[in-house]
């Protein structure tokens, strides 16, 4: 214990350059400690008197991709080894001492078993003939120790570093924890969470798939122990934090403390209350971070907006909501996620014009699909959200409502002045209620008064502290509730926070499961997607032309919620940026 251990892969020299590139392209599972010269079975940089032919307890032989036997020694293959190259790859057994030092029990040691290792459905980055799916090692960790486990291992980059997944094994394509592909089943104690680290046996899967005429590896668990202490491991930088983003399936995410701090600062900025409505009583620290982590992991996001507060005007919509919705959509587009907007059927033409304007202004790269939802039966919401109404095949994995009229406890929809506007609102709330029954679908509500969809999470505070709250409070809750002085600000903050997350190396590595090349190289593509004063000013001018009015005053001036665009909204955008 405490010494760096290594996995070993031995290949013909003609494959060596490709395999080295494969290791560098997937350095989470394959952190390369050393590559030998052909026929060199010593490795002085790792061990003073090494002989790779005899140093390990057991070897495995592969011929044309097929496992053909276990060996105690490779000496009988000395002639063939003269034309072969040995790769020494970091091993996660090296980090177990670090976990124990952090006060974290190693269940496999306590149960006198080898660790559990699994093949996943996560593809590695392919290089020429080398391609395979990621292999992982699972260690049960008490939930209260998750942060300590990530912190203890994130520095040990040469031993696979921080975990690549925390939570439900099904998200990695692993069906049964009781049936590992390598090693032994390790039992979870009550309160344990399965935590997965990238595993060097990924290299064995690559050997099998490349079908080399002859190759060798170590038997699982029979690692080469080097002379190097683990303290020599390089730091991968950034103190990590762990946050739960879903209960069903259980899913945690990782982010650097620096990125989390920035996002919490964005949340504080938008939390001012220029309308003096009492919204500070609705605010909960960390909701913006949770919402954006969930969106960062999402594949497809559905956004809804539209608050027809001006029931005597045509159109009745207010101008708070659509700009924030488009700011979120623009960043999601830049992050190459699928995004669609759902709104009231009677307002489809209006939103189509707003989206066309946003494309012309360069806010959106391309038009967004615009949908409407009508209730036709008891399972309408499920059919809308899932393919053929099957909860196992959701079309969207995150729903966002921003300044969207929300249903009150009595089934009606109210504006801030307590006027029932139900006749103007389609029952999009049902999608949020149905989402709670679909595994893997999470929701966010953005609002500034408590009567917006998703604000049910803080309805008690709305009833107590917001004017007319007892009547108008939305009863439908979202998983995450982002409260802002103006809802558009919440949209701008989400766009900025998504950008912060994607530029965070710690989060990026976790998102891509430590395989492939860093995604942070795309920073230049994401910056133009952020909101700007010019873009938002021009979008508000389009809304004025379409006679979409300010929420509080119903005026057609350059204002939102009765607050002037210049020196109020423009200043907020500058502060967020």
**Does a structural domain hold residue 269?**
yes
Does 91 score more than 90 pLDDT?
no
Listed residues 176, 200, 229: the one ending a domain: 229
Q: 186 and 293 share a domain?
A: no
Does 236 score more than 80 pLDDT?
no
Q: 38 and 94 share a domain?
A: yes
Task: Please write the tens of the pLDDT for every residue from 529-555.
Answer: 999 999 999 999 999 999 999 998 999
CATH number of the domain to which 486 belongs: 3.90.1640.20
Q: What pLDDT is stored for residue 234 in this prediction?
A: 43
Listed in sequence order, the residues at least 6 apart from 358 whose beta carbon sits closer than 8 Å to its beta carbon are 326, 330, 364, 539
Does 96 score more than 90 pLDDT?
no
DSSP letters, 44-62, are TTT-TT--TTTSSS-EEEE
Neighbouring-strand partners of residue 338: 300
Domain residue limits at 199: 3-229
406, 456 Cβ separation under 8 angstroms = yes
**Does a structural domain hold residue 572?**
no
**Does a structural domain hold residue 482?**
yes
Does 271 score more than 90 pLDDT?
yes
**Does a structural domain hold residue 237?**
no
Interatomic CA distance for residues 34 and 306, integer angstroms: 59
Pairing mode, if any, of strands 3-12 and 224-229? antiparallel
Of 207, 206, 223, 226, residue with least CA distance to 215: 207
DSSP letters, 93-126, are GGGHHHHHHTT---HHHHTT-PPEEEEEEEEPPP
DSSP letters, 308-355, are ---TTSSS--BSSSHHHHHHHHHHHHHTT-EEEEEE-GGGHHHHHHHH
Q: 472 and 495 share a domain?
A: yes
Interatomic CA distance for residues 420 and 408, integer angstroms: 10
Stated pTM of the model:
0.95
Q: 265 and 157 share a domain?
A: no
Task: Please write the tens of the pLDDT for every residue from 434-465.
Answer: 999 999 999 999 999 999 999 999 999 999 99
Q: What pLDDT is stored for residue 520 in this prediction?
A: 66
Q: What pLDDT is stored for residue 577 in this prediction?
A: 97
Confidence of residue 227 (pLDDT cuts 50, 70, 90): confident
Task: Please write the tens of the pLDDT for every residue from 240-268.
Answer: 999 999 999 999 999 999 999 999 999 99
Q: 369 and 419 share a domain?
A: yes
* Paired tokens of 417: 């002045």
Interatomic CA distance for residues 304 and 19, integer angstroms: 47
For residues 481-489, average pLDDT: 98
Q: 166 and 310 share a domain?
A: no
Q: How many CA atoms lie within 13 A of 193 on its CB side?
A: 23
Confidence of residue 356 (pLDDT cuts 50, 70, 90): very high
Q: At what angle do helices 257-270 and 287-297 cross, to 10 degrees?
A: 120
User: For the chain, how many helices (H) and strands (E)?
Assistant: 19, 22
DSSP assigned state of 230: G
The angle at the Cα of 183, spanning 178 to 188, to the nearest 5 degrees, equals: 40
Does 143 score more than 90 pLDDT?
yes
User: What does the mean pLDDT of the chain come to?
Assistant: 94
**Does a structural domain hold residue 576?**
no
Q: 363 and 336 share a domain?
A: yes
The neighbour count for residue 75, using CB atoms within 10 Å, is: 12
Q: Report the domain count for the chain.
A: 2
Q: 209 and 287 share a domain?
A: no
The angle at the Cα of 388, spanning 385 to 389, to the nearest 5 degrees, equals: 50
Listed residues 201, 229, 257: the one ending a domain: 229
Q: 212 and 260 share a domain?
A: no
Q: 186 and 253 share a domain?
A: no
Q: 83 and 200 share a domain?
A: yes
Q: What pLDDT is stored for residue 202 in this prediction?
A: 95
Q: 215 and 141 share a domain?
A: yes
**Does a structural domain hold residue 570?**
no
Interatomic CA distance for residues 476 and 399, integer angstroms: 13
| CA distances in angstroms from 226 to 34, 44, 94, listed in the order given | 12, 10, 10
Please report the sign of the dihedral spanned by the C-alpha atoms of residue 228, residue 202, residue 20, residue 216: positive
Listed in sequence order, the residues at least 6 apart from 543 whose beta carbon sits closer than 8 Å to its beta carbon are 319, 322, 323, 354
**Does a structural domain hold residue 566?**
no
For residues 7-35, average pLDDT: 96
The angle at the Cα of 398, spanning 518 to 328, to the nearest 5 degrees, equals: 70
**Does a structural domain hold residue 568?**
no
CATH number of the domain to which 220 belongs: 3.30.2040.10
Task: Please write the tens of the pLDDT for every residue from 281-294.
Answer: 999 999 999 999 99
């Amino acid at each position: 214990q405490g010494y760096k251990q290594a996995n070993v892969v031995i290949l013909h020299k003609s494959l060596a350059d490709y395999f080295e590139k494969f290791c560098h392209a997937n350095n989470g599972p394959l952190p390369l400690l050393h590559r030998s010269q052909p026929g060199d079975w010593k490795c002085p940089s790792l061990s003073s008197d090494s002989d790779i032919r005899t140093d390990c307890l057991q070897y495995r032989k592969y011929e044309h991709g097929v496992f053909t036997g276990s060996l105690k020694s490779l000496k009988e293959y000395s002639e063939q080894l003269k034309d072969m190259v040995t790769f020494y790859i970091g091993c996660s057994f090296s980090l177990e001492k670090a976990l124990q030092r952090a006060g974290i029990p190693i269940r496999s040691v306590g149960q006198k078993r080898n660790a559990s290792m699994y093949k996943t459905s996560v593809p590695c980055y392919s290089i020429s003939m080398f391609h395979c799916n990621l292999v992982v090692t699972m260690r049960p960790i008490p939930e209260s120790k998750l942060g300590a486990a990530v912190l203890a291992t994130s520095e040990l980059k040469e031993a696979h570093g921080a975990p690549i997944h925390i939570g439900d094994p099904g998200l990695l394509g692993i069906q049964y924890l009781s049936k590992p592909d390598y090693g032994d089943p390790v039992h979870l104690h009550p309160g344990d969470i399965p935590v997965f680290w990238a595993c060097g046996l990924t290299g064995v899967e690559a050997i099998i798939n490349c079908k080399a005429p002859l190759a060798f590896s170590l038997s699982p668990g029979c690692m080469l122990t080097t002379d190097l202490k683990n303290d020599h491991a390089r730091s991968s930088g950034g103190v990590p934090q762990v946050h739960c983003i879903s209960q069903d399936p259980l899913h945690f995410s990782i982010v650097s403390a620096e990125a989390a701090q920035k996002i919490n600062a964005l949340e504080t900025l938008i939390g001012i209350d220029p309308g003096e409505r009492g919204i500070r009583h609705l605010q909960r620290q960390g909701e913006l971070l949770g919402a954006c982590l969930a969106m960062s992991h999402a594949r497809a996001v559905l956004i809804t907006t539209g608050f027809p507060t001006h029931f005597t005007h045509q159109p009745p919509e207010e101008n708070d909501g659509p700009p924030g919705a488009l700011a979120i959509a623009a960043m999601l587009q830049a992050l190459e996620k699928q995004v669609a907007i759902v709104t009231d059927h009677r307002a489809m033409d209006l939103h189509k014009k707003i989206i066309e304007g946003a494309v012309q202004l360069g806010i959106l790269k391309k038009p967004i699909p615009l949908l409407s939802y009508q209730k036709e039966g008891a399972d309408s919401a499920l059919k809308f959200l899932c393919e053929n109404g099957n909860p196992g095949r959701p079309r969207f994995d995150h729903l966002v409502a921003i300044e969207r009229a929300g249903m009150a406890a009595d089934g009606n929809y109210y504006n801030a002045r307590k006027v029932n506007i139900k006749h103007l609102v389609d029952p999009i709330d049902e999608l949020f209620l149905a989402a709670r029954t679909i595994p893997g679908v999470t929701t966010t509500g953005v609002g500034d008064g408590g009567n917006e969809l998703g604000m049910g999470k803080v309805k008690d505070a709305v009833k107590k502290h917001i004017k007319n709250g007892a009547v108008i409070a939305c009863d439908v809750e979202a998983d995450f509730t982002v409260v802002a002085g103006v809802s558009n600000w919440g949209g701008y903050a989400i766009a900025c926070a998504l950008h912060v997350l994607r530029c965070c190396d710690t989060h990026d590595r976790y998102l891509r499961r430590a395989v492939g090349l860093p995604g942070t190289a795309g920073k230049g593509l994401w910056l133009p997607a952020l909101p700007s004063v010019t873009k938002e000013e021009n979008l508000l001018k389009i809304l004025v032309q379409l006679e979409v009015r300010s929420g509080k005053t119903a005026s057609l001036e350059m204002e939102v919620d009765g607050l002037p665009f210049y020196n109020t909204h423009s200043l907020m955008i500058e502060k967020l940026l």
